[in-house]
Structure 1
Amino acid sequence: MLFSLNDKGEIDPNNQKSLTHPEALDTADAIIMLLRFRTWDDATYKHFDNACNRGVPIIGLRTSTHAFRGKLGGFGKRVLGEGWVSHWGGHKREACRGVVEPSEKNNPIFNGVIDVFADSDVYEAYPVQDAKILMRGLVLENMKPDSKPSTRTKKNRKLKKVSGINDPAMPVAWTRNYKWPSGKTSKIFCSTMGAATDLQSEGLRRLIVNAVYIGLEIEVPKKANVDYVDPYKPLFYGFNNFRRGIKPADHALGKILPAGQKKK
């Protein structure tokens, strides 16, 4: 796992220029991205770009649709199949329930996947034409898993048309292939779910793990083991809402993550 750090060697997601040990990407079998508006220097980005051009599978989660800014911007739309559009559901007010696209119900990526729930909101998203939509996200009335789907209306940014917010529901997971300048092709899985608290959903964890199996062309288990390897108690998502004073070594297997320092 690669992190962004501050000058004290502590994990700091606000440092958009930092990435620990980018050389690890040189031998990565797959890349799971959970990035937002990174501005890596050329040397760091080259490790990432080289890995991509080897054709490794890429799993892009949540804010990875807008992983980079500046000269690196556009990666989400170009590679993952969609960039940043808007918060479609009410941010921190309306959660998301995943619903399998009927045509994909027998797709092995859904082996053992039930009850996908994300307390992050649904993004507005219009994946590129060659993307295969796997799951749509119902905008719920509130943040509870058993909440009813919202019935309110909203104007979308693409067509400037008012419709029911779940009519149709926005795509929240899709796949596609992307061919790099090297000629190699990566299997792409993208989901606009994936905030820290979303990963408390066993169904979502299994969907992501199954996407890795498919990307690596390994048979997907009937029910992959996605149990926590150590206690997992994420903080609620939000800008600057992260544990201070935490170092990468604190995430080592067998350790319980410290509470961290309060916000400054």
Structure 2
Amino acid sequence: MKPLPILAAVLTFGVALTVSSATTSAADGPLVYKGEEGPGAGTKVVLIAGDHEYRSEETVPALARILAKRHGFDCTVLFSQNKKGEIDPAADDIPGLEALKDADLMVNFLRFKNLPDDQMRHIDLYLRRGGPVVGLRTATHAFKMSGDSGYGRYSFQSKEQGYEGGFGRQILGETWAGHYGKNHVMSTRLDLNEEQLDHPILRGVKNPWVEAGGYWADPMPNSTTLAFAQPLQGMTPDSPPAEDKEPAPGAWVRTYELPWGPADSNPGSRRVFTTTYGASEDLRNDGFRRMLVNACFWAAGLEEKIEPDMNVSLVGPYQPNTFRFGGHVKGVKPSDMAGWDTPIPPAGDAKTD
């Protein structure tokens, strides 16, 4: 829906005053980071945050800023929000999902969402047309739909024939399979698969390490593992491997097929990159951050544009909170992170509820 003339004038005036940031954010609209120039110019990415523990509301806008500012992608960032329009990881309401209608890539970092049918419809239609997906951490169990939902097949425990394991298993390649390393005690080293070192997503990636504890994963047979997660007995990259834990798949690629086929004659790429990591603190690692940026290029069909020395540095102040349940900064609205220089996350109370 186009803005009213007066509102359009106000928005235009506001953008003129902040043209250096190249971003827009309406009070009740999505957070948009508008790319300027670069290999991703003209490519629209919709990034969705809404998990309870791993601070997706910090990871996702930080990733969007890199894609937009450094590489020219047009990034729309959506959050689960409460009735006040504040970011609320526990809320089952994500305004703005209609942005998926013309998106070239969806980045999903949700957990146990029970969205209303009119919102799930946009995700369903995006997948029916074969839109590519990047899934982070809890996206393997992104949905936990109620019994009266028309989209129960997306639930992480779905038993529907042809859609067992829901969105996680059928799209990303794995549903929730359990922890494989204790958070805040055991970090995780991601060992690159030597047989896949020529894959575009691994181009320039060195020594990826994440602060989040391990997740177990056994991806679908048509998945290709790019990195194996080795739980460590400590919170530094040089910590020794946990003696009782062998490496498990920690990042992989695949393509998906829906049982009912695409909704139209343009099925898209169906490309998927999944990692069982992506907590806000994980993004501080250069190797892991490069892997995520490369994955977005690859999923969107831009693998030829991936350079091993691409700029993947963070944009603006980034000081992630230690992830935990109830640890999000309270009272934040998407517009609080507009621009390149506003802090992510905004300053505020991040004490446990």
- Say yes or no: TM over 0.5: yes
- Structure 2 residue 300 is the aligned partner of structure 1 residue 216: yes
Q: Is the Cα contact below 8 Å between 2:272 and 2:299 reproduced in 1?
A: yes
- Where does 1:183-262 land on structure 2 (aligned, <5 Å)? 184=267, 185-218=269-302, 219=304, 220-253=306-339, 254-256=341-343, 257-262=345-350
Structure 2 equivalent of residue 3 of structure 1:
79
Structure 2 equivalent of residue 69 of structure 1:
144
- Structure 2 residue 262 is the aligned partner of structure 1 residue 182: yes
1:86 is aligned, of 161, 166, 178, to: 178
Q: 2-side partners of 1:103 and 1:139: how far apart?
A: 21
Structure 1 equivalent of residue 90 of structure 2:
14
Structure 2 equivalent of residue 141 of structure 1:
233
Q: Secondary structure at the match of 2:251?
A: strand
Gaps of 5+ in 1: 154-164
Q: 2-side partners of 1:199 and 1:132: how far apart?
A: 23
Q: 1-side partners of 2:132 and 2:215: how far apart?
A: 23
Q: What amino acid maps onto 2:296 in structure 1?
A: V
Structure 2 equivalent of residue 159 of structure 1:
none
The C-alpha deviation readout for 1:140-160, integer Å capped at 9, x for no partner, is 011112211111x2xxxxxxx
The structure with the largest alpha-carbon Rg is 2
Structure 1 equivalent of residue 125 of structure 2:
50
Moved more, 115-124 or 181-190: 181-190
Aligned residue pair count: 249
Q: 2-side partners of 1:228 and 1:43: how far apart?
A: 35
Q: What amino acid maps onto 1:138 in structure 2?
A: Q
2:210 is aligned, of 115, 118, 126, to: 118
Q: 2-side partners of 1:63 and 1:174: how far apart?
A: 15
Moved over 6 A (4+): none
- Structure 2 residue 105 is the aligned partner of structure 1 residue 30: yes
Q: Using a 3 Å threshold, how does the CA distance of structure 1 residues 10 and 57 change in structure 2: closer, same or farther? A: same
The C-alpha deviation readout for 1:19-65, integer Å capped at 9, x for no partner, is 02111111211011111001111110111111122222100000000
Q: Secondary structure at the match of 1:176?
A: strand
Q: 1-side partners of 2:177 and 2:183: how far apart?
A: 14
1:171 is aligned, of 249, 252, 260, to: 249
TM-score by length of 1: 0.91
Q: What amino acid maps onto 2:190 in structure 1?
A: G
Q: 2-side partners of 1:20 and 1:223: how far apart?
A: 36
Gaps of 5+ in 2: 1-76, 146-151, 156-165
Measured after TM superposition, the shift of residue 245 of structure 1 is 1.0
The C-alpha deviation readout for 1:66-125, integer Å capped at 9, x for no partner, is 000132312101111001111111222110011011101121211111121111011111
TM-score by length of 2: 0.68
Q: Is the Cα contact below 8 Å between 2:134 and 2:274 reproduced in 1?
A: yes
Q: Is the Cα contact below 8 Å between 1:119 and 1:143 reproduced in 2?
A: yes
Q: 1-side partners of 2:329 and 2:171: how far apart?
A: 31
Q: Is the Cα contact below 8 Å between 1:209 and 1:224 reproduced in 2?
A: no
